[in-house]
């Protein structure tokens, strides 16, 4: 097996996530115990028992998903220490799980970064009314043209045929209407707190820069493909810049997956709740096998 490791993003959360892994794996349990200590609140309790409304809030959701994803990785490494990835990547928030897996920072240092990132993004969401929508099966050039006309941004290039748009709520509504007028009927408004990966998050990205500059982050030992650049960083400064720009920049997930596949990968292993990334893989490079480590069954 020649795997790549990928990590789930925000939106994949579900009450109960990680509980069976924690009960079955001492390594996973240790991750949750450390997270509870670092954060000063019971992220384990929130992941295992909810409530769902609290788990959905960015300020809690991001640390929770990062913790659960790293616990899944710990459980997998405990059972399969011989498996080494060719490269790592993560969708938005998941990039921090990828950097942890690649050796860029300790679990605790990554968790502190994620918690601060979540606070900054939550603040931006509350300062303005943003919205996002998923466009399925549309021509990318038409979508980009409409975004420019409506003064909004493309947040995600998730797979061939799936693009997410983001911006001020009224402008996104205009874009949805315009896309439908141009024949793109499958445009789905998303239930989100704000306009992630758009210019409305630029202030958060700049604030995060100061946090990043005061953190201990090294170049990872395993290549990590960044959302913003769709390639690994060659220096620590480049890595920090990628993390800053990622907050308001487009997630170039298709390019990341394609570039990692070109390394000779034959398997994608997704760590974290849900199966979003392996689902996108089927529409991007279907010949690569997808495996989900979101419960104990995936460890076999």
Statement: residue 223 has pLDDT above 90: yes
Tokens describing residue 162? 């799936």
Per-residue DSSP letters for 264-295? Answer: T--EEEEESSS-HHHHHHHHH-TTSEEEEESS
Q: Encode pLDDT of 184-217 as tens digits.
A: 989 999 988 899 999 999 999 999 999 999 998 9
Tell me the pLDDT tens digit for each residue of 7-37.
999 988 999 999 999 999 999 999 999 999 9
Give me the half-sphere count of Cα atoms (radius 13 Å) on the Cβ side of residue 200. 28
> At which residue do the structure tokens 């809030």 appear?
57
Residue with tokens 């298709």, as numbered in its chain: 254
pLDDT in tens, 237-268: 999 999 999 999 999 999 999 999 999 999 99
Burial of 5 (0-12, 13-18, 19+ CB in 10 A): buried
DSSP assignments along 93-136, one per residue: THHHHHHHHHTSS-HHHHHHHHHHHHHHHHHHHHHS-EEEEEEE
According to the model, what pLDDT value does residue 151 have? 97
Four-CA torsion 205, 167, 226, 123, nearest 10 degrees = 30
pLDDT in the model for residue 167? 97
| Non-local CB neighbours of 107 within 8 Å, separated by 6+ positions | 31, 34, 35, 70, 100
Residues labelled catalytic: 92, 197
Structure tokens at 9: 């993003």
List, in order, residues 6 or more apart from 33 with CB less than 8 Å away.
44
List, for residues 69-115, the tens digit of each pLDDT value. 999 999 999 999 999 999 999 999 999 999 999 999 999 999 999 99
Tally Cβ neighbours within 10 Å of residue 210.
11
Instruction: Check residue 298 and give its pLDDT.
Output: 87
pLDDT, tens digit, 9 for 90 and up, residues 145-168? 999 999 999 999 999 999 999 999
The answer to whether 12 and 62 are in contact (CB under 8 A) is no
pLDDT value for 244? 96
Which pLDDT does position 200 carry in this prediction?
A: 95
Is this prediction's pTM over 0.85?
yes
Show Cβ contacts of residue 190 under 8 Å, excluding neighbours closer than 6 positions. Answer: 131, 132, 133, 134, 164
What pLDDT, on the 0 to 100 scale, is given for residue 300? 81
Residue 74 three-state SS: helix
Domains and CATH numbers, the chain: 3-126+199-299 (3.40.366.10), 129-189 (3.30.70.250)
Kindly state the average pLDDT of the residues 55-67: 94
């Amino acid at each position: 097996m020649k795997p790549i490791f990928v990590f789930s993003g925000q939106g994949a959360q579900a009450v109960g996530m990680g509980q069976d892994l924690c009960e079955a794996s001492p390594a996973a349990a240790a991750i949750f115990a450390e997270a509870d200590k670092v954060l000063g609140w019971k992220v384990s309790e929130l992941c295992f028992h909810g409530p769902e409304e609290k788990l959905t809030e960015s300020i809690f959701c991001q640390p929770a998903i990062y913790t659960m994803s790293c616990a899944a990785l710990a459980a997998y490494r405990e059972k399969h220490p011989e498996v080494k990835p060719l490269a790592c990547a993560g969708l938005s928030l998941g990039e921090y799980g990828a950097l942890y897996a690649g050796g860029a920072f300790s679990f605790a240092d990554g968790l502190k970064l994620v918690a601060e990132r979540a606070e900054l993004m939550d603040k931006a969401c509350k300062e303005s009314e943003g919205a996002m929508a998923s466009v399925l099966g549309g021509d990318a050039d038409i979508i980009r043209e409409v975004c420019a006309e409506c003064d909004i941004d493309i947040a995600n290039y998730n797979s061939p045929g799936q693009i997410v748009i983001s911006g001020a709520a009224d402008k996104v509504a205009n874009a949805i209407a315009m896309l439908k007028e141009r024949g793109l009927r499958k445009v789905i408004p998303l239930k989100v707190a704000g306009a992630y990966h758009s210019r409305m998050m630029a202030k958060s990205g700049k604030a995060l820069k100061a946090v990043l500059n005061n953190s201990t982050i090294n170049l990872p030992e395993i290549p990590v493909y960044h959302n913003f650049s769709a390639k690994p960083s060659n220096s620590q400064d480049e890595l920090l810049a990628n993390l800053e720009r990622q907050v308001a920049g487009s997630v170039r997930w298709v390019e990341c997956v394609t570039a990692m596949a070109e390394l000779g990968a034959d398997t994608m292993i997704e760590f974290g709740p849900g199966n979003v990334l392996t689902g996108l893989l089927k529409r991007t490079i279907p010949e690569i096998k997808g495996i989900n480590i979101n419960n104990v069954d995936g460890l076999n």
